[in-house]
Amino acid sequence: MSVYLPGLEGVPATRSNISFIDGEKGILAYRGYPIEQLAEHSTFEETTMLLLDGRLPSAEELAEFDEQLRRNRRVKYNIREIMKNLPATGHPMEMLQTAIASLGMFYPGNEALTSSRMSEDLTYIHRMTVKLIARIPVIVAMWQHIRNGYDPIPPRQDLTTAENFLYMLNGREPDPLDADIMDTCLVLHAEHTINASTFAALVAGSTLASPYGVIAAAIGTLSGPLHGGANEKVVDMLEEIGRPENVKPWLDKQLASKAKIWGFGHREYSVKDPRAKILQKQMEKLARDRGGKISPLFETALALEEIAEVRLGPKGVYPNVDYYSGILYSEMGIPTDQFTPIFAVSRAAGWLAHWREQLADNRIFRPTQVYIGEPLREYVSIDRR
């Protein structure tokens, strides 16, 4: 029997050709393409196809997939009614898990997965993947209005995923730079090997559960504060710091007491996270574009980044992807508790790519345990306890 390693750290749980990380060299690649090149040249729609199919699509293939996504943005009114019955005080990630689980009842058919006719399965897998990728951002944006007591803004077919998401969220034409940065954020968060939520998707998928059940399991897993919630914490931290001039004394105090600085360091990387470098440039671009009109939070973030990079960089601790994404979303006026749902909008592409890969060579997950409990013993009746 293998040795027990807590959290299965270092234990391979799958064979995969979707992405890889070289944490010492600071490399993240989807299907072999470095994340820097995808962030610069690709879009969320194209990156999703790349993750799913393993290759960059032709112009026609991309146009067809994009058209399918646009046509699948409408959400049934029953789902909207379900959302209206959820308490406004609940966390949007719980809303998202609820709504996605419910979708499975409206789009049945996972018996296709038990068919031995793999060509039919692929049709089902593709159809359901489109439905999910198209609707997750729509549902996240709808909630922003429903929880405030308003009807959601209907989706538009003439916009990209990133543009339509910002349009539905804010109810106005999205700023082109904002939409461009949002698209880059979606590309950057789409996939990151076998983290906890992707692993949960593999485990659920291995029982041939429906993709809605699988993605709902992954969303529940991502909702945990040790996983998806870090970029929320960054904004809380920046609000605690307040003005830029408070950064230096605050950081001194934190470092002296060895307190956690949210958005710095990453278990997978010993050098700077390549996604953080890309987002740092986006942040600088946004700051230039806005000129003086940036929020105090943003200024505080820029100041903390500058000072912390000098102090922590030599120790291999850098601002990570969560640091920048939180600040960028915040500057776009997105509420803090919607950051993790945006993570899910993007990561759904990776989850579904892994789900498909799992099905192609499936074996149900059933690990073992180290039993450390009581040996066999006799039941004692209640009057003798």
Convert residues 68-107 into a mask of x (bound to a second copy by CB under 8 A) and - (unbound): ----------xx-xx--xxx-xxx-xxx-xx--xx-xxx-
Q: How far is CA 154 from CA 139, 242, 376, in A?
A: 11, 37, 61
Convert residues 228-267 into a mask of x (bound to a second copy by CB under 8 A) and - (unbound): x--------------------------------------x
- CB of 96: closest distance to a second copy in angstroms? 9
Q: In 38-66, which positions are buried (b, 16+ CB within 10 angstroms) versus exposed (e)?
A: bbeebbbbbbbbbbbeeebbeeeebeebb
Based on the residue annotation, tell me whether 158 is a catalytic residue of this protein: no
Q: Is residue 14 involved in binding a second copy (CB under 8 A)? A: yes
Catalytic residue among 180, 266, 273, 354: 266
**Which one, 108 or 249, has the nearer CB to a second copy?**
108
Q: Using an 8 Å Cβ cutoff, are 222 and 90 in contact?
A: no
Based on the residue annotation, tell me whether 189 is a catalytic residue of this protein: no
Q: Is residue 385 involved in binding a second copy (CB under 8 A)? A: yes
Binding positions for a second copy, 333-372, rule CB under 8 A: 361, 363-372
Please tell me the number of Cα atoms within 13 Å of 237 on its side-chain side.
24
Can you tell me whether residue 264 is helix, strand or coil?
A: strand
**Which one, 203 or 279, has the nearer CB to a second copy?**
203
In sequence order, which residues have a C-beta less than 8 Å from that of residue 176 and are 6 or more positions away? none
- CB of 71: closest distance to a second copy in angstroms? 21
Q: How far is CA 344 from CA 286, 297, 328, in A?
A: 24, 24, 17
Query: Looking at 15, 117, 172, 258, which residue binds a second copy (CB under 8 A)?
Result: 15
Convert residues 195-234 into a mask of x (bound to a second copy by CB under 8 A) and - (unbound): xxx-xx--xxxxxxxx-xxx-xxxxxxxxxxxxx------
Q: Using an 8 Å Cβ cutoff, are 201 and 90 in contact?
A: no
Catalytic residue among 322, 337, 354, 383: 322
